[in-house]
Chain A
């Protein structure tokens, strides 16, 4: 059960990150078939989208189970075979819907944040 946490005690970025991470992963594997370590690295480098790298594995497992990504095992040059992830049709659909929503959401937040009090008040 969740309980209310005072606004000041919450880190809005943590919650935002959690909310968008799955779709960011979908976007990464849509651009290019990738293996988990690669996906994590890419997302950590893009402005710290992943903070606890290990949590990507439960997330990928969920995307697999929901049929949004498909996987193939491939031999790697060094080390054990790797599982490569690519987006499915259903994943494309979900990602497309998210992009529309995200743009609307981002514009709404930007609009609110840009409101300036009139001079002299």
Chain B
């Protein structure tokens, strides 16, 4: 394997290992490690296979790095949100809120956004959005994106309908999106 392939392989394994981290932290960690690799290679002034292998060895395995995300715990006396517990072996462990996953709210949101739009036209997807915003699973940007998509999809048929009925005369409800295809 050549040097670049080694780095690509390493970053691929890091990406897989970091799967269970919150999305934003995962992207950040990957960028940090990528920059570190670049800086280390820059510093050594060489990019041959031996240099890259040594550098990756020093970096530690992807699993080790990801494990360190949850290990260590809150530093004592930091007054942080993590609660520090001591187990009999003397190892410090920290109970953190688990990374938000899929729960009832997320499933209801998804069902309302998909099946809901057929069973309860208009109302279903709007209710779905409410559940999307209630969930901790998605960040603000993702929620805004979902809202934008749903609102556009809801407004588009209305806009086409009213647009067609004002330009094409009072033809009534049978004039749908097809009316725009006319001359």
Contacts and interface: CB of A to CB of B under 8 A. Distances in A.
Interface residues of B, number: 35
A12 to B, nearest CB: 12
B35 A80 contact: yes
A2 B80 contact: no
A3 B89 CA distance: 7
Given A52-B68, A54-B36, 4 more contacts: A2-B89, A4-B89, A66-B74, A94-B77
Interface in B14-40: 25, 28-29, 32-33, 35-36, 38-40
Interface string B32-76: 110110111010000000000000001111101110110110111
Interface string A3-20: 110000000000000100
11 contacts: A1-B87, A4-B89, A44-B58, A52-B60, A54-B33, A58-B66, A61-B28, A66-B75, A67-B80, A90-B79, A94-B77
Contacts of B145: none
Interface of A: 1-4, 18, 22-23, 36-37, 40, 44, 51-55, 57-59, 61-63, 65-68, 78-80, 82, 90, 93-94, 97-98
B178 interface: no
A93 B78 CA distance: 9
B72 A62 contact: yes
Contacts of B80: 65-67
A61 B26 CA distance: 11
Main secondary structure of the interface of B (DSSP, over half): helix
Interface of B: 25, 28-29, 32-33, 35-36, 38-40, 42, 58-62, 64-66, 68-69, 71-72, 74-80, 82, 87, 89, 91, 93
Contact of A55 (B42, B65, B76, B87): B65
B29 A78 contact: no
B77 A37 contact: no
Contacts of B79: 90
A55 B89 contact: no
B47 to A, nearest CB: 15
The winner among B39, B65, B87 for most chain A CB atoms within 10 A is B39
Main secondary structure of the interface of A (DSSP, over half): helix
8 closest residue pairs by CB, A with B: A52-B60, A55-B68, A58-B68, A54-B65, A66-B80, A58-B69, A54-B59, A66-B78
A37 B39 contact: yes
Contacts of A1: 87
B75 A23 contact: yes
A2 B87 contact: yes
A57 B33 contact: yes
B68 A59 contact: yes
A98 B75 CA distance: 10
A22 B75 CA distance: 8
B36 A59 contact: no
